[in-house]
Chain A
Amino acid sequence: MSTATSRHAGERGVARIRARFVVLMITALVVTACGSTAQSVAPSAGGSDGPGGELVVAIGNTGTHLWAPHQAGDDAAALYKQMHDSLTQVDKETGEIVPMLAESWELSDDGLTWTWRLRPDVQFHDDWGTLTAEDVKFTWGEWMREDSNQNVAETLAEIVGGDIDNIEVISDVEFQIHTPEPYTTLDSFLAQSFARLYVTSKRYHEESPDAADHPIGTGPWKFVESTPGVEVIMAANAEYWGTVPSYERLVLKEIPESAARLVQVQSGEVDIANLDSDLIGEAEAAGLEIESVKDIATVQVILGGMYYGHPNLDTDAPWIQDDEPEKGKAIREALSLAIDRQLIIDRVLLGEATLNYGPLLQYNANPELVDPSWELPEYNLELAREKLAEGGYPDGFPITLFQYADDVDTVGIGEAIAGMWEELGIEVTRDLSDEGILDEKLNAAETDGLAWVKLQGFDPPSVALINYLSSEDDDYKFFHPAIDEGYAALTTEPDEAARWQIVRDIISALRDDTIAITLFTANLPVVLGPDVGSWEPTPGDKDMNSLETVTPAD
């Protein structure tokens, strides 16, 4: 073949290749466009379908998907509370303890016997019968088993003295709990989200082979199916004794990254998602509504080594100075005065917090926890410098601020505080790490030279204080005699008004000594998609809750 002929053949070959290539690319683009257009007309699973449709909620973690009562741990709380009820709950408006499955309850004069009366005719899911006192006893027994993963297993066992038969069934709707030691705050304990006894059916667990994989309860949502690491699907319980859901289906999707959750709300695939506070601005700029779950935790700074009465007390720490305690107190006051709390609320948390009066236990929603004589912590840099000199460190001292991510932007808060302390003249080293690493130090009571931002969840005082008792065998945050003495009095005092006074006295002592630097009470921001009309979350609960109250937009 001649060169000219081969050149023409080559050019025709090239033309064919080019034509095929172009056809291929166009085909690919057309197929993509058609597919996506068809899909956008009829969207697949995700995003509410309107009244009676599907509600999709994104959460960071759907837990272990271990459904047996003794296996489900704290991870499963966000899921369990959709499907189950507990004996008592916290009133959304007043913060008081109100009935849930229990209609009424009373404590004997000696504080050793609780008598409970259940709400009649409450039905378990999937026709597994009516709730009875036997079911409550069964659930309690499962939760307190030796191999239980429930965090409150030990506490539940202590309450009944390790003997489940201290729960005495009187009738189908009445039972008594006999406590070997007075436990005067049992009703509030059982109302807290981490301690709720999610009652399940004894008969179901005895008779059904599916019990370990398919949980049932009495709650507004019924379990349908779950895929570990992906989602949990539930259906509305039309026979629920309380608020029946407006949606037929609830899908709880696991999306670990906050930004990814926001994007899916923006794209319409998800209706509700919890959000890190640093994304609030972006969500609002996108025209999305932010709902605040109020008072999920008090936020405070804890200074290390403050183990009063314990061998590990860091006696030489600038904020302790055990040989000159007044100087140590002056340093703690200086550190507190140097913190502009309102600035942190405005700039770091974007308004999702409220100043409060005292550390750990004080929530503004409960007037019983506030003494009218208290004033809010002050921000005064000049006074802080004076206190620093008074404490014997006019030129400052080194401190390591341990930072880890938590439900609220504790890293951002810590960073702001570090800057404020540096302005005071403190030499701050930042240690950005993990909570587990801090837990190792706490378990060994080796926190010399450290400070960290600590969240204390919305727990009843008698529960919260357990974490700070010097008699505990691990997880040492700090000790103070007011806590040990107050806790002993609190759990044995039968009179409610007197109990509140004990709590105020504890808070007052912690304030006066500036033990745990008070910051504020934080909210949890949740972003709502445009198809969501309203939602009434329960304050103080950091998990997705009360999803049966979600209504679609008009």
Chain B
Amino acid sequence: MTARIASRLGQSLLSLLFLLLLVFAIVRLTGDPILFLMDPRASEAQETRLREELGLDESVPVQFVAYVGQLTRGDLGISFRTKRPVAELIAQRVPATLIMGAGAVGLTLLVAVPLGVYAAYRRGGVIDLFARGLAAVGQSVPDFWLGLILILVFAVHLRVLPAGGFTSLEHLILPSITLALGSIAGLIRLLRSSMIEVLESDFVLFLRMKGLPERVILWKHALRNAGLTSLSFLGIVTAGLFTGSVLVETIFNWPGIGLLFIEGVRNRDFGVVQGVMLVFGSAYIAANLLVDVLYSVLNPRLR
């Protein structure tokens, strides 16, 4: 297992490096950031000074090597626009994204797990129909559309929930629902089909013959087996939720790293875009790695 993890770690680092190279190159294809950072009235001397200050007077390969060198020292560089360390800007925004992500993950588990399990247990029943309907809707509806509808209904017309921002936990409700619906839908479907397969297996029949309560069979034995495939899905989804949906944060003006990323793109702030993409990439890679480890722990055949 240790060798397996070490191998996955090596692959992850290579993936991260490739991602970094890709982002570094692509942002520089969008044009000269100095023209976006400075007012047209700025003088040529001011533009030259800023270019030197940001290291943009060097060639792109030199810039990349310098950037990688910075990263090895834990320095994510500076924001081209605000001159503040990117790490500081990200640190300021991460709590908001984590809170929204946690809300969405919590909602996903709270809704999808019982629905997925019960839908499989009582196939064809009312709950099953509801769960499958919710899954179909959740996977069809774009999150940005859902967010706008929720805002219109609950914030504008009913005025029972806020339209955006983050000054209280109440602000968490609509963004969490918007962000969670897609993953709820996916998890319901996956868990339902896995549970159906497990519930029809011989070992469950054996457990029933032994006289174990249905509750124990369902939640302790069947779910554990059926949950393995859902675990991978949950890992990817969790990474996606925690890196924040850029669209959802934009719609709800949620001050997380997704919105920071949008601001970076809008302002041609290469420093911020690179730093945030690095965080996003690292989150996905870390989530995949964690899933692999958990998989090994839960499935003795992989140890």
Interface of A with B (CB < 8 Å)? Answer: 1, 5-6, 9-10, 13-14, 16-18, 21, 24, 28, 32-33, 35-37, 39-40, 44-46, 64-66, 71, 73-74, 146-149, 151-154, 194, 227-230, 253-257, 260, 263-264, 266-269, 286, 434-437, 439-440, 443, 467, 473-475
Cβ A65 vs Cβ B164 within 8 A: no
Name 22 interchain pairs, CB-CB below 8 A, sorted by A.
A1-B211, A10-B214, A13-B215, A17-B121, A21-B114, A36-B170, A40-B159, A46-B165, A66-B82, A71-B83, A151-B42, A194-B41, A229-B260, A253-B165, A257-B251, A263-B155, A264-B164, A266-B155, A267-B162, A286-B156, A439-B40, A440-B32
Contacts of B32 in A (CB 8 A): 436, 440
Q: Does B161 contact A (CB under 8 A)?
A: yes
Q: Does B208 contact A (CB under 8 A)?
A: yes
CA distance A452 to B272 in the complex (A): 31
CA distance A154 to B45 in the complex (A): 9
Contact of A229 among B33, B93, B211 (CB under 8 A): B93
Top 4 closest A-B pairs, CB basis? Answer: A13-B214, A1-B211, A154-B43, A267-B163
Cβ B165 vs Cβ A269 within 8 A: yes
Cβ B251 vs Cβ A260 within 8 A: yes
Contact of A39 among B151, B170, B215, B259 (CB under 8 A): B170
Cβ A269 vs Cβ B46 within 8 A: no
B residues 193-232 in Cβ contact with A at 8 Å: 208-209, 211, 213-215, 218
Cβ B260 vs Cβ A260 within 8 A: no
Contacts of B42 in A (CB 8 A): 151
Contacts of A227 in B (CB 8 A): 92, 255
Cβ B161 vs Cβ A36 within 8 A: yes
Cβ A268 vs Cβ B255 within 8 A: no
> In whole Å, how far is A113's beta carbon from the nearest beta carbon of chain B?
26
Cβ A440 vs Cβ B31 within 8 A: yes
Per-residue interface assignment for chain B, residues 79 to 117, with 1 indicating a CB less than 8 Å from any chain A CB and 0 otherwise: 001111000010011000000000000000010001000
Interface of B with A (CB < 8 Å)? Answer: 31-33, 35-36, 38-46, 49, 81-84, 89, 92-93, 110, 114, 118, 121-122, 127, 151-152, 155-156, 159-165, 167-170, 173, 208-209, 211, 213-215, 218, 250-253, 255, 259-260, 262-263, 266, 268
Given contacts A253-B165, A436-B268, A439-B35, contact A66 B83 (CB under 8 A): yes
Nearest chain-B residue to A264 (Cβ)? Answer: B163
Nearest chain-A residue to B151 (Cβ)? Answer: A263
Cβ A228 vs Cβ B92 within 8 A: yes
Cβ B250 vs Cβ A257 within 8 A: yes
CA distance A267 to B158 in the complex (A): 9
Contacts of B168 in A (CB 8 A): 39, 44
Given A18-B127, A21-B118, A266-B163, 20 extra CB contacts under 8 A: A1-B209, A13-B213, A13-B218, A17-B121, A24-B110, A40-B159, A40-B160, A44-B168, A46-B167, A194-B41, A254-B253, A256-B266, A263-B151, A264-B165, A267-B151, A269-B162, A436-B33, A436-B36, A437-B31, A440-B35
Interface SS of chain B: helix
Cβ A46 vs Cβ B170 within 8 A: no
Nearest chain-B residue to A21 (Cβ)? Answer: B114
> In whole Å, how far is B50's beta carbon from the nearest beta carbon of chain A?
8
Contact of A36 among B36, B81, B160 (CB under 8 A): B160
How many inter-chain contacts with C-beta < 8 Å in the A-B complex?
163
CA distance A286 to B121 in the complex (A): 48
> In whole Å, how far is B104's beta carbon from the nearest beta carbon of chain A?
15
Contacts of A154 in B (CB 8 A): 43, 45-46
Contacts of A228 in B (CB 8 A): 82, 84, 89, 92
Contacts of B38 in A (CB 8 A): 73, 151
Contacts of A74 in B (CB 8 A): 39, 41
Contacts of A267 in B (CB 8 A): 151, 155-156, 159, 162-163
Cβ A44 vs Cβ B164 within 8 A: no
> In whole Å, how far is B271's beta carbon from the nearest beta carbon of chain A?
13
Contact of B170 among A10, A44, A153, A268 (CB under 8 A): A44
Contacts of B164 in A (CB 8 A): 255, 260, 263-264, 269
Nearest chain-A residue to B210 (Cβ)? Answer: A1
Nearest chain-A residue to B107 (Cβ)? Answer: A28
Given contacts A16-B215, A151-B42, contact A436 B31 (CB under 8 A): yes
Contacts of B152 in A (CB 8 A): 263
Cβ B214 vs Cβ A9 within 8 A: yes
> In whole Å, how far is B12's beta carbon from the nearest beta carbon of chain A?
30
CA distance A409 to B273 in the complex (A): 27
Cβ B263 vs Cβ A229 within 8 A: yes
Contact of B162 among A5, A9, A46, A147 (CB under 8 A): A46
